[in-house]
């Protein structure tokens, strides 16, 4: 019995087979683990290490470098308010102050119910809609205080489930073609495999890799950390 679901492990192996070196799949598979758990649990790190063929310490060492890979629990909704230059010129720090009051936490913290983590974020490339923010990587822009309150209310009520999957779900589209499992003796690199890369038109999408299936679009896993422990982030506290 693995911690990561069988489907996740199978897809992780498919990702490994896409790259000339297995370790290249490390970060994509970390995203998958976060899709299931909302953060990178130690058990997941162990299994990622096994799939990729490195030590758990190496997975942790890589993951801890990156802002989007959470080695401690994060809220179900990670609200990242950009305060960089363009958003700052549009009042982002006022918005962040307001968000701290609304959620009752400081930037870098997580609400006691585990629902929200608030971040003082760097530029997220939404500058034409400043001040902007992301919730779990999904954009919201030109926000007034009232609109922020409404956003929080809607998230709490689950009304934005379609638009904002639980934290950790990066990509709701699975690669459904061009997959060949290394275990099956093939290789994703064309020219080195005897197996056809694309499924024939009669076999339908998602068959080459076995697991993918583009119909599998919805988010899986709870994704919520359910903890009051604030996520310790690399230099993400508010000044």
Partner 1 sequence: MALTGAPRIVTSRIGYEDSYTLERFLATGGYDGLRKALSMSPEEVSAEVNTASLLGRGGAGFPAGRKWSMLRAAPTTYLVVNGDESEPATFKDHLLLERDPHQLIEGVMIAAYAIGAAQVFIFIRGEMALGIERVTQALNEAYEYGAVGRNVLGSSFSVDVVVHPGAGAYICGEETALLESLEGKRGFPRIKPPYFPAAIGLYGEPTVVNNVETMSNLPWIVLNGGAAFAALGSGSSTGTRLFALSGRVNNPGVFELEMAKTTFKDLIFDKSLGNGIIDGKALKAFIPGGVSAPWFSPDQVDMHLDQDEVGKAGSMLGSGSVVVMDETTCALRAAWRITKFFWRESCGQCTPCREGSGWLEKTLWRIENGEGREEELDMLMDVCDNLAPGLTWPPQQTTICVLGPSIPSSIASAIRMFRDELLVHVKEGRCPFA
Binding residues for partner 1, rule: CB under 8 A, are 18-21, 23-28, 30-31, 52, 54, 61-63, 65-69, 80, 83-86, 88-89, 122-128, 130, 134, 136-139, 170-178, 188-191, 196-198, 205, 214, 234-236, 239
Q: Report in angstroms how near the CB of residue 195 gets to partner 1 at its nearest.
A: 10
From edge to edge, which strands make up the β-sheet containing 116-121? Answer: 116-121, 77-82, 133-135, 138-140
- The tokens describing 63, both together, are 């993951």
Q: Report in angstroms how near the CB of residue 105 gets to partner 1 at its nearest.
A: 20
Q: Report in angstroms how near the CB of residue 197 gets to partner 1 at its nearest.
A: 5
Choice between 114 and 131, CB closer to partner 1: 131
Choice between 25 and 231, CB closer to partner 1: 25
Residues 6+ apart with CB under 8 A from 109: 117, 118, 230, 231
Q: At what angle do helices 6-18 and 42-52 cross, to 10 degrees?
A: 40
Tell whether the torsion through CA atoms of 161, 164, 170 and 176 is positive or negative.
Answer: positive
Choice between 161 and 171, CB closer to partner 1: 171
Choice between 50 and 68, CB closer to partner 1: 68
Helix ranges restricted to H, the chain: 6-18, 26-37, 42-52, 56-63, 85-88, 92-103, 145-156
- CA neighbours within 13 Å on the CB side: how many for 87? 29
Q: Report in angstroms how near the CB of residue 112 gets to partner 1 at its nearest.
A: 25
Q: What is the rounded distance in angstroms from the CA atom of residue 42 to the CA atom of residue 123?
A: 30
Q: What is the rounded distance in angstroms from the CA atom of residue 223 to the CA atom of residue 175?
A: 21
Choice between 98 and 174, CB closer to partner 1: 174
Choice between 41 and 236, CB closer to partner 1: 236
Cβ 62 vs Cβ 152: under 8 Å? no
């Amino acid at each position: 019995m693995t911690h990561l679901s069988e489907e996740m492990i199978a897809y992780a192996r498919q990702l490994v087979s896409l790259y000339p070196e297995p370790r290249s799949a490390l970060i994509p598979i970390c995203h998958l683990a976060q899709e299931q758990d909302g953060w990178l649990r130690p058990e997941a790190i162990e299994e990622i290490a096994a799939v990729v063929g490195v030590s758990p310490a190496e997975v942790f060492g890589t993951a801890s470098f990156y802002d989007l890979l959470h080695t401690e629990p994060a809220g179900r909704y990670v609200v990242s308010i950009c305060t960089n230059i363009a958003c700052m010129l549009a009042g982002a720090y006022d918005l962040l102050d307001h968000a701290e009051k609304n959620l009752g936490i400081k930037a870098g913290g997580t609400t006691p119910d585990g629902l929200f983590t608030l971040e003082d974020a760097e530029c997220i490339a939404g500058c034409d809609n400043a001040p902007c923010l992301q919730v779990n990587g999904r954009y919201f822009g030109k926000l007034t205080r009232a609109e922020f309150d409404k956003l929080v209310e809607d998230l709490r009520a689950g009304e934005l489930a379609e638009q904002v999957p639980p934290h950790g779900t990066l990509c709701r589209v699975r690669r459904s073609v061009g997959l060949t499992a290394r275990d099956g003796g093939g290789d994703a690199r064309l020219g080195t495999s005897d197996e056809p890369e694309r499924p024939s038109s009669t076999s339908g999408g998602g068959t080459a890799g076995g697991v993918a299936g583009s119909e599998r679009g919805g988010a899986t896993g709870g994704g919520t950390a359910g903890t009051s422990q604030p996520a310790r982030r690399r230099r993400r506290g508010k000044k």
